[in-house]
A and B are shown apart, each in its own frame.
Chain A
Amino acid sequence: MPTFLERSAALPHLGLGISTEYGARRSPGALDPRALRREHPGLGGFLEVGVEIERGLDADARAWVADGGPTTYHFLDVNLDEPEDLDPGWLAAVRGTVDELRPAWLCGDAGLWHFGTRDRGQMLLLPPVLVPESVAPMAAGLVALRQATGHEVLPENPPGAFFVGPMHVLELFAAVAEAADTGLLLDCAHLAMFQRSRGLAFDAGFDALPWERVIELHVAGGSERAIEGLPVVDDDHGIEVLPDTWAIFEGALARAGNLRAVVVECERNPLPDVLPLFRRVASAWGVDAR
């Protein structure tokens, strides 16, 4: 089998895109992805569809696909390190959704999406335990999902108010990517949360990452607050991007030579409000911002 770096040559260049998830546009004033694509084709290059199989695809995602718009499939409901979670029923539904979306690849936060079974009231998202023992089970899940869908599966570093384990999150994801021979999705906002929680510089751990495997980047706004004096960042996908997220993004752009896609996560904000954010991302990446 060819290596990921060989396989990655076949991955399309999607450019700048936007994320969505089921019902996102029900929020007052939320962004209409199709309107963005119509009015600013350079900014709405593709739609990253957040999929929870139990909910399926909403009308906006289906309409985007019907228009022929490119997509990626962002899973929201699988614990990659639990073999039981890749059960035949779920995998069949994933394959059905993949057939519908025809995504360029699959991706998603490699963390704990639910406790117990995949059931109501049990959804959450916790980062993986940052220890070497986490690598093999997560890599096995990535390989299994790739084989089951026939698509590349890019693990994403999850957000967190805290991280358990001594490893740097980039060190863990580097090891996972090597073990699964896969690419990576680096979420710059999530990484900023990690660096802050550990009191590290924005570029700490950069040397650990195999940058040639980084295929996709995420940029998103976050808001700072304190819990009884403990500073935390809410990954609220707002329009205020933290300075360290920008710094990570710019550092990543300089290193990720195999980059195919950047998602601006701002799905619940009005189009006029998000345009400056898109334009800054486009400008940094050197893509057409019209």
Chain B
Amino acid sequence: MSADRSAERSEARSEDRNAERSEARLEPRRVQHALVCMLFDPAYAAMVRGSAKLPELSVRERALLREVDPRALRSDPHRLARAVHALIDEYPVSAAVLGVAKVETFFASEAFRAGIRERKAMALTFGQWLGDRARGVGCLEHAMALLRRPLPAPKGELDCPPRFRGLLVPAGTLAFTSSVRARLGHDPVELLAQRREPWGERAPRKGTEPLLVERREDGSIDLGTASEPLVRLMRFAEGGRRRAEVEAEAIRRGAEPAEAGELIDELIADGLLCAPPTGSS
């Protein structure tokens, strides 16, 4: 037997052992997470009971879940409605644009399941799932949802202040959002739940509207337009940058090289950029 073949066999045996170990693992949290997905999504429950591969579950974990009577998963007929309600509370105009029937498909998405596995806030996972589905309206309401929650500490030499989110959305998004929100009235959930279908008007799709979303000291959210170069610069700084990088970006966005440093200082003084304490990373 050649040394090469022996090494191949040894490697194959090792892989088999790893696979066996992997299939024998049992982490109660993973079982619970899958169970939550099964409660929200009958199709996923059927997948767990079926034979198609599910990488998120080992054989042992899946065997436990297969023993659950599918009827028991329907013991709470209002579970989905409560979760949809929570989403519409934060994304009323996105829900109007999509229609509640489409919103409900989020609960059957891999994004929803990943959000549970990764221990995320459902409203934020929904905002990510929206992507371009509700056009700029989804981006706007996602930014608002982010700002309602605990803010991250600023990083780097310069950062966009965490209480701000700069957005570039299709032109007319802010006016469309405000108009639809006003027409949804005081109880968007009830209105949209009855309607279920998408709103009659389509969300803007063309052009660019630079927006700044701000969480005020009292926790309220302020929406407004801003200059495009400013929004682009704030977005560039998001997550932390070196000052030299931000100055270079300001110059790319039209600042005079000799004045870029002064501009950055002014933005810091105005609270539109922040310089975290040294050592933040």
Contact = CB atoms under 8 A, between A and B. Distances in A.
Interface of A: 81-82, 84, 89, 112, 115-117, 119-122, 124, 126, 128-129, 131, 133-134, 137, 161-162, 164-165, 197, 227-230, 232
Contact of A121 (B33, B73, B82): B82
Given A126-B35, A134-B28, A117 B71 contact: no
Given A116-B120, A129-B28, A232-B75, A164 B85 contact: no
B79 A227 contact: no
A164 B67 contact: yes
Contacts of B89: 120
B72 A161 contact: yes
Pick the 8 closest A-B CB pairs, nearest first.
A121-B86, A161-B75, A162-B72, A129-B28, A230-B71, A119-B121, A134-B28, A115-B36
A141 to B, nearest CB: 12
B125 A162 contact: no
A89 B39 CA distance: 30
A227 B70 CA distance: 10
B221 interface: no
A211 B29 CA distance: 28
A162 B27 contact: no
Contact of A232 (B72, B87, B116, B121): B72
A131 B28 contact: yes
Given A116-B122, A229-B71, A230-B71, 11 more contacts: A115-B116, A120-B90, A126-B32, A129-B28, A131-B28, A162-B75, A164-B65, A164-B67, A230-B72, A232-B72, A232-B75
B83 interface: yes
Interface string B81-105: 0110111011000000000000000
B69 interface: yes
B31 interface: yes
A230 B83 contact: no
B116 A116 contact: yes
Interface of B: 26-29, 31-33, 35-36, 39, 64-65, 67-69, 71-76, 79, 82-83, 85-87, 89-90, 115-116, 119-123, 125, 149-150
A147 B120 CA distance: 27
Contacts of A126: 32, 35-36
Contacts of B125: 116
A124 B71 contact: no
B130 to A, nearest CB: 16
B27 A133 contact: yes
A164 B45 CA distance: 14
B33 A115 contact: yes
A119 B125 CA distance: 12
Given A81-B28, A126-B35, A120 B64 contact: no
Nearest to A120: B86
A112 B87 contact: no
Contacts of A229: 71
Given A84-B119, A117-B119, A126-B36, A227 B74 contact: yes
A89 B151 CA distance: 13
12 contacts: A81-B28, A84-B119, A112-B36, A116-B115, A134-B28, A137-B29, A162-B73, A164-B35, A164-B65, A227-B72, A230-B69, A230-B72
Contacts of A162: 68-69, 72-73, 75
A162 B87 CA distance: 27
A116 B71 contact: no
Contacts of A197: 72
B208 to A, nearest CB: 32
B273 to A, nearest CB: 27
